[in-house]
Amino acid sequence: MPLRQESNFFYLTGCDVANSHVMITISPSTVASSEPEVKSTLFIPREDPLETMWSPPPPTLEAARSTHEADVIAYSDEFEKHVAGAVKIGETAVHILPQTIQFPTLPVPLLAALSTPGVAAPPMIKYLLPALHSARLIKTEYELELIRQANAISSRAHEVIMRVLGKDVKEVGGRVSVNPKKITAVMPGQWRIEKEAEAEAIFVASCRREGYVPLMSDITRHQPNMPPPCTTVATIEHSLGVL
């Protein structure tokens, strides 16, 4: 099965590499700069010989820098160190996605380090997901054009299905009725499409012929006991977002 990257992570990074993370830090404006400083760090896994026996290797840091717009790109095993270095005790608000089965979970040691009683407030889960949902509602003209193209392709695919079903209405046992006034029911076994899966196959094939892979459904993206496809941390005064 191909990787289904977590949607919010993919929106922020465009990275489809499993076991990747992103940290976004937002530092307050200073005398030198009237705008807050936003910095993104993308973490990708190192190449593992045991993994590359069966799967393509992850990109090198150099290759990732040429394809992703993150300010810093590092290895995933450095993630906790970078987060710890970005957190300023008493000054940093850490925002994370809800730690539920719907989203990849942060490493337990990292959560413990970010939630030290009396030292650091626990990461907040209230704001990051709604903020991402709001941001994703805003589309650029380029994104709108892609949506229009996807709609046009999927509409033509639906028309293909309707034409196939239309032939079934006109034909009985593979032969066109010679008497248009005689209405003959199409019996079971005579339909070209008898199951939903068959309609889906025609729909997907039609879309793929035009270079578009349709999203048929939004299934659970992360299963327990499976390595998380990604993680995000975000930092207000000093604000940190982690995915």
Break the chain into its structural domains and give their ranges: 7-137, 141-172+186-210
Torsional sign, CA 156, 161, 165, 170: positive
Q: Which parts of the chain have pLDDT scores under 70?
A: 1-2, 31, 89-90, 115-121, 166-191, 215-243
| Pairwise CA distance, residues 75 & 208, whole Å | 34
Give residue 163's pLDDT: 82
CB 98, CB 70: distance < 8 Å: no
Distances (CA, A) of 59 to 2, 12, 75, 123, 133: 17, 18, 11, 30, 29
pLDDT, residue 238, reads 44
Q: Residue 237: its pLDDT value, please?
A: 40
CB distance 110 to 231 below 8 Å: no
pLDDT of residue 171: 55
CA distance 99 to 60: 29
In the three-class reduction of DSSP (H, G, I as helix; E, B as strand; rest coil), residue 241 is classed as: strand
**CATH homologous superfamily for the domain 7-137:** Creatinase/prolidase N-terminal domain (3.40.350.10)
**How does 81-101 read in b/e, with b if 16+ C-beta sit within 10 Å?**
ebbeebbeeeebbbbbbeeee
pLDDT value, residue 165:
76
**Nearest alpha-carbon partner for 39 in 232, 191, 234:** 234
> Quick one: pLDDT at residue 62?
94
Strand blocks (E) in the chain: 20-27, 37-44, 72-75, 92-96, 171-172, 175-176, 230-234, 238-242
DSSP 78: G
